[in-house]
Structure 1
């Protein structure tokens, strides 16, 4: 895990935090997913093995407080949540269960159950029509707000884990080494022949911007993208080898993904390249959701909710009348280092500042800073835990100024 701390060397500053632990549930619970409707109302869920049925948690104040609700089931794992409205919510999980509330969780009713079936994906295209998918390739559809669920024809018997529709007709499903597509409201599904490194690789979550442009993240740490509706797929630079479980795009350029060992990665070019963000945990991060361009939440396997209010960026922004005479990027110290080193740089004029790390092949491996800043002198600590030994380069760019220096990581 990489940790980044920026320290201002001149007076007067304002501090902005990246990702932080907002909530810790006790006893610890294996949070599977987190979902919000609007800015304030959200749900998360995890199984309890102490006989309690209060395995659903709801917030109405942007995660400041979470109130336990009873699902009516003990030791039950709900894997998917869909918020149709702050008061109308669906959840799906083990034993083929789909439960629903229409009063904000005061009461939950069971609208489907089937022993041995697991339902991991859940998506509604309007107030009446929704889909769920899960084990043995099962795909089901409702057209009456969940009162009845009908089996749809599925081309596979492998497990299915995620559903995403771009409109009422066109949708996508990902699963165990498979990605499916429908263009007729789920009546028929076709295999998009997505590449897999093994038959056991699980495409954990799928996301499409439009009918042609989409991607999926996998538990092999891969992100694979298509620009022609799955006719061809291209492996992109995920910036991590950790298993990835959740992905969320704010718009067509900026997205986030999370996964094992505290992995949080961000893209600003539509998923072509991804760069690590600082995580406060070295644990499994199961799901990610944003309520605005800067406010997001991540659920955690050990019962924690992470939050950011600034897009996950960690920095210190100076405000000072003292101005350096020139741009300067000094040699990192110590060098060689293991695993933490410090950068020092000065900027004499205001502007956007980039501080990036590259490996020996010239591949960008970390983006430490990408932020408009006032003149000042700064130090940045980089924790290269998780990176292999070797030669790396760090570059500061601001306006027409660019300077690069070499450093050596010895493990």
Structure 2
């Protein structure tokens, strides 16, 4: 399988998140040496993990304990939970590709699709759930005499996964990430054609001109209108629902990205081929290394965000858990001397409140910046006594979008993100 080169010059920052550690989840198979390729978390609190060549495990207590769920011996590459709690998985053998489904909280699994694809060495795929109630699955399938001859086969179900119809074969290599945008388009990453899109719930896909025909590793959906796409050159960010993108990677030291996820606050987590894991709370403008607690020789195949934590499926240690600190879960940053709180409401239109605390008397500056880093407003610029404060930001004269507010006081500085909606 091809390797994508993610090229980053990571601007590392000091933050309270560094105090957290990766910790092992409960044991799956004996010895907890499972290779985990896929993870899914349902709204009713059940977590599923695919142990490569062993089957599916499930946990009802956030990974503390696991029980075997089914699909004995299957190599499941993808797990995805629907809005009603049904979970779908993709797997393959050399000659067949499968869609599996559980509708009873993982007690039983059913093969709802079996496709005959002789000598298929590709594997992998994606599943999404459009707002019209349909289900769209994209398989990577070998179509030629060599392993590199791969196309993406798209299948669709309109009856909760009972029956599937092939809608298109995209001669574009491997599937690499699939999301649904705020305006109900499906964006699908490919290894040969960049990003393709559908406006009819997977009925047809078309070329997406915002990206050249290069290898797409993953696509992530964050805050309203914010999309990340990783390609062969780095990480690209859109703040207008995919209409335009900004390259937020760099072009000097090449490192392969393995997987990435976004948590409920829009914070980014990326795992690299050099076994390093990074975190960003400012849309990828700067990064922090968060390797504490990772076993030597382990790397992540998949990352997901659920229940205020990051769960990672490893190559040899089952599932690892990163318990994100208070500033990520609730939007409150706690330092040794100061507190900077997430603005409220957020998103907002047009007024929001920013609260902060000073533990000592000092000069204070609070400024607001747009997505390009241009200063648009100074909210505070004065000396203040120790205590609790709040300041109002009125965005009525600004365009809707992502803004950042930053506090500087003595040796303390912190930046947070807010969303103005119009």
Cα RMSD, aligned residues only = 3.8
Superposed CA deviations along residues 217-253 of structure 1, whole A, max 9, x for unmatched, are 35x5821223455555432137984322322222464
1:242-391 correspondence runs (5 A): 242-251=255-264, 253-279=266-292, 280-281=294-295, 282-292=297-307, 294-311=308-325, 349=360
The equivalent of 1:55 in structure 2 is 55
Counterpart check, 1:148 vs 2:179: no
Of the two structures, which has the highest relative contact order with CA contacts closer than 8 Å and spacing of 6 or more? 1
Contact 1:267–1:275 (Cα < 8 Å) also in 2: yes
1:11-410 correspondence runs (5 A): 17-25=20-28, 26=30, 28-38=33-43, 40-48=45-53, 54-72=54-72, 74=73, 76-84=74-82, 88-94=86-92, 95-116=96-117, 118-125=123-130, 128-135=133-140, 136-166=151-181, 169-177=184-192, 178-193=194-209, 195=211, 201=215, 203-209=216-222, 213-218=226-231, 222-227=234-239, 230=242, 232-237=244-249, 241-251=254-264, 253-279=266-292, 280-281=294-295, 282-292=297-307, 294-311=308-325, 349=360, 399-401=409-411
**Partners of 2:180 and 2:188 in 1: CA distance:** 9
Superposed CA deviations along residues 318-366 of structure 1, whole A, max 9, x for unmatched, are 99xxx9xxxxxxxxxxxxxxxxxxxxxxx99499xxxxxxxxxxxxxxx
**Partners of 1:402 and 1:140 in 2: CA distance:** 53
**Partners of 1:89 and 1:154 in 2: CA distance:** 24
TM-score (norm 1): 0.64
> For structure 1, which runs of at least 5 residues remain unmatched after alignment?
7-14, 49-53, 324-346, 352-396, 404-411
Contact 1:140–1:150 (Cα < 8 Å) also in 2: yes
Contact 2:126–2:177 (Cα < 8 Å) also in 1: yes
Provide closer, same or farther for how the CA distance between residues 66 and 261 of structure 1 changes in structure 2, counting only shifts above 3 A: farther
TM-score (norm 2): 0.62
How far did 1:64 drift? 0.3
> For structure 2, which runs of at least 5 residues remain unmatched after alignment?
1-9, 141-150, 329-333, 338-357, 363-406, 414-422
How far did 1:65 drift? 0.5
How far did 1:19 drift? 2.0
**Partners of 2:174 and 2:321 in 1: CA distance:** 31
Contact 1:295–1:307 (Cα < 8 Å) also in 2: yes
Contact 2:301–2:312 (Cα < 8 Å) also in 1: yes
Provide closer, same or farther for how the CA distance between residues 276 and 114 of structure 1 changes in structure 2, counting only shifts above 3 A: same
How far did 1:298 drift? 0.8
